[in-house]
Amino acid sequence: MASTTRGAQPRGVRDESECDAIVIGAGFGGLYALHHLRDKMGLSVRAFDGAGGVGGTWWYNRYPGARVDAPSSPFYAYTFSKELVNEWEWTETQTSQAAVLAYLEHFADRFDLRRDIQFDTWISDARYDENTQRWTIETDTGDRVTAQFLICAVGALFVAHKPDYPGINDFAGECHHTGRWPHVPVSFSGKRVGVIGTGSSGIQSIPEIAKEAEHVTVFQRTPQYALPARNRPITTDELSQYRENWDSLRATMCARGGWPFKTSRRRASEDSPAQRRARYEELWEQGGIHLAINSYIGVLVDKDLNHEVSEFVRDKIRETIRNPETARKLMPDYYFGTKRLILDNGYFETYNRENVALIDLREDPIEAFTPSSVRTREGEHKIDLLVLATGFDAVSGSMLKLNPKGRGGMSLVEKWDERFDTYLGTTIVGFPNLFMIHGPGSPGVFFTMPLGAERQMEWIGNCIRHLHENGLGAIESTPEAETLWDKEIKQIADHTLYPHTDSWYMGANIPGKPRQFVGHLRGSQYFERLAEVAEAGYEGFAFEEVR
């Protein structure tokens, strides 16, 4: 294998080197890719990240209140090493951003990963050479590196979406996007704060901002369902039990789309309305995503059942909000669960504070910005600091930003002009030897992301081994396989209520983005498919001999 030959040259001088694989990204996926390829497979690997440290999404999303909004400690973590599971002490049930970042820093140190990661470095070009069957990347720091394999762990939620309201740049105060939060403390004290956006980031940050700010005005476009996270300290007993049962918990996660616990197989028709209501109450009290996934089969498929659960949550919101007019504006009216589920820590209660006001943009849209205010149709709202919690160009956005050039110099922007076609969510026709982690068409956010990244990476590693063992130089998915995969993803999504809702899952949050469901909804089935494809000699792929 070729070895890495990076010299200590000053910036601006081209540093040319060769290695077996280039990894882009140092979040959960990229760190694991580096560890797996280098330490388990013995390849020479170089990794790059535009951030100044490890962490990916957890490096950037430092807004107040940022926490894991999925089944959390100790499950939102690497699962492959029992030693790692045993040695890391999680302290809360819903892990904070700082704690996840500390964990990833520990991971990088424990496996000595930093020596092969170049931080503060953006990839300015990534290009495939059909003759050499290798990728060459160029960086903004003057490096040029070639490798047989390009692993893109560029993040599903990375490219921050800033709304293009006319005049938004006229606002002269501080303005921060939640996904690009400053690394120095942001003070809200004595300030009038405006928050645009009420997805996970807005709903997590608004209660924290309201505790400190003089006044908060929330600009809401779509009212949301949010379930109580019920974050609390995790006990040592709980942690020991998880550790003792780790193998079976991990197996359950693999079999149940990332969820570590047994779920109810009960049908709603087996219970009376009163019994169902009692069950919803119990799951609401339990908190987290239990209500969504553990009540009855088919909440995200059956319109009537979904309506009943939606109404239950709406009742909870009504009960919480003192001002009936505010409660009316906060009533979600889409199918429960079809936008990314949100876990909150006192979000609805925040509207009972005197220093918080809610503007419903559907009734009172933003018309202009001035240096010190947001003007809506019905009034002017004085603001010192603006928070944009307006989300991301999700899943496809970070790959398009990288915009690799494949066969014949075709760019990914051209290839994905109308649809984000992939095969297995990991490969793209026309882009040999390129692999994605959490690409469009893979389970990504519908599975516990660290475990999903591990399993995808292990599959990619086996695929690379297959090439090496068989004297093959390149692998590429076939157009037929890609078309069938696209159909399969769509078919699975169409069976559910997800496509009925405008969400980032559907690409609907970005003006002009093609409407397409971006994920694979059946995580366990997805990983079975990966295994079957490999067992069938990498069905759906074409190989080239080494040139």
Binding flag, residue 66, ligand N01 (CB under 6 A): yes
Identify which range of 193-201, 264-272, 352-360, 416-424 contacts ligand N01 by CB under 6 A.
193-201
Q: How far is the CB of 194 from ligand N01 (least distance, A)?
A: 11
C-alpha torsion sign, points 269, 274, 280, 282:
negative
> Six-digit token pair at 499?
């496509």
**Cβ–Cβ < 8 Å for 61, 132:** no
Q: How far is the CB of 60 from ligand N01 (least distance, A)?
A: 11
Q: How many residues does the chain have?
A: 547
Please select the residue that binds ligand N01; options are 44, 201, 427, 448, rule is CB under 6 A: 201
- Counts for the chain of helices (H) and strands (E), in that order: 17, 19
- Check residue 285 and report its DSSP letter: H
Binding flag, residue 205, ligand N01 (CB under 6 A): no
**Cβ–Cβ < 8 Å for 93, 231:** yes
Q: How far is the CB of 258 from ligand N01 (least distance, A)?
A: 13
Identify which range of 119-127, 199-207, 308-316, 477-485 contacts ligand N01 by CB under 6 A.
199-207
Please select the residue that binds ligand N01; options are 50, 71, 202, 461, rule is CB under 6 A: 202
Q: d(Cα 80, Cα 179) in Å, to the nearest integer?
A: 28
Residue 320: name the closest of 228, 429, 200 by CA.
Answer: 228
Closer residue to ligand N01 (CB): 413 or 510: 510
Closer residue to ligand N01 (CB): 67 or 290: 67
With H, G, I as helix, E, B as strand and everything else as coil, classify residue 501. Answer: coil
Q: How far is the CB of 65 from ligand N01 (least distance, A)?
A: 9
Q: How far is the CB of 228 from ligand N01 (least distance, A)?
A: 15
Site string for ligand N01, 498-527 (x = CB under 6 A): ------x----x------------------
Q: What are phi and psi of 156, to 5 degrees?
A: -80, -25
Closer residue to ligand N01 (CB): 222 or 456: 222
Q: How far is the CB of 181 from ligand N01 (least distance, A)?
A: 11
Binding flag, residue 221, ligand N01 (CB under 6 A): yes
- Give the binding-site size for ligand N01 (rule: CB under 6 A): 26
Site string for ligand N01, 348-377 (x = CB under 6 A): -------------x----------------
Residue 331: name the closest of 348, 312, 317 by CA.
Answer: 317
Binding flag, residue 68, ligand N01 (CB under 6 A): yes
Closer residue to ligand N01 (CB): 25 or 461: 25
Identify which range of 85-93, 141-149, 197-205, 410-418 contacts ligand N01 by CB under 6 A.
197-205
Binding flag, residue 178, ligand N01 (CB under 6 A): yes
**Cβ–Cβ < 8 Å for 76, 496:** no
Where do the H-state alpha helices sit in 133-272? 200-212, 236-244, 246-255
Amino acid, res. 421: D
DSSP codes of every residue in 65-89: T-B--SS-TTTSS--S-HHHHHH--
Closer residue to ligand N01 (CB): 198 or 496: 198
Q: How far is the CB of 205 from ligand N01 (least distance, A)?
A: 9
How many other CB atoms are found less than 10 A from the CB of residue 213? 22
Closer residue to ligand N01 (CB): 358 or 389: 389
**Cβ–Cβ < 8 Å for 374, 263:** no
> Six-digit token pair at 60?
């950037």
Q: How far is the CB of 499 from ligand N01 (least distance, A)?
A: 15
Binding flag, residue 222, ligand N01 (CB under 6 A): yes
DSSP codes of every residue in 361-419: TTTS-EEEEETTEEEETTEEEE-SEEEE---B--TTHHHHHH--B-GGG-BHHHHTSS-
Binding flag, residue 445, ligand N01 (CB under 6 A): yes
**Residue number, nearest CB to ligand N01:** 199
Binding flag, residue 331, ligand N01 (CB under 6 A): no
Please select the residue that binds ligand N01; options are 276, 290, 340, 513, rule is CB under 6 A: 340
Q: Does residue 273 have a cis peptide bond before it, meaning omega lies within 30 degrees of 0? A: no
Q: How far is the CB of 530 from ligand N01 (least distance, A)?
A: 23
Where do the H-state alpha helices sit in 287-380? 290-293, 303-320, 324-329, 347-350
Q: d(Cα 520, Cα 522) in Å, to the nearest integer?
A: 6
Q: d(Cα 256, Cα 275) in Å, to the nearest integer?
A: 26
Q: How far is the CB of 191 from ligand N01 (least distance, A)?
A: 21
Closer residue to ligand N01 (CB): 331 or 534: 331
Task: Report the interface residues with ligand N01, using CB under 6 A.
Answer: 66-69, 157, 163, 178, 196-202, 204, 221-222, 340, 361, 389-392, 445, 504, 509
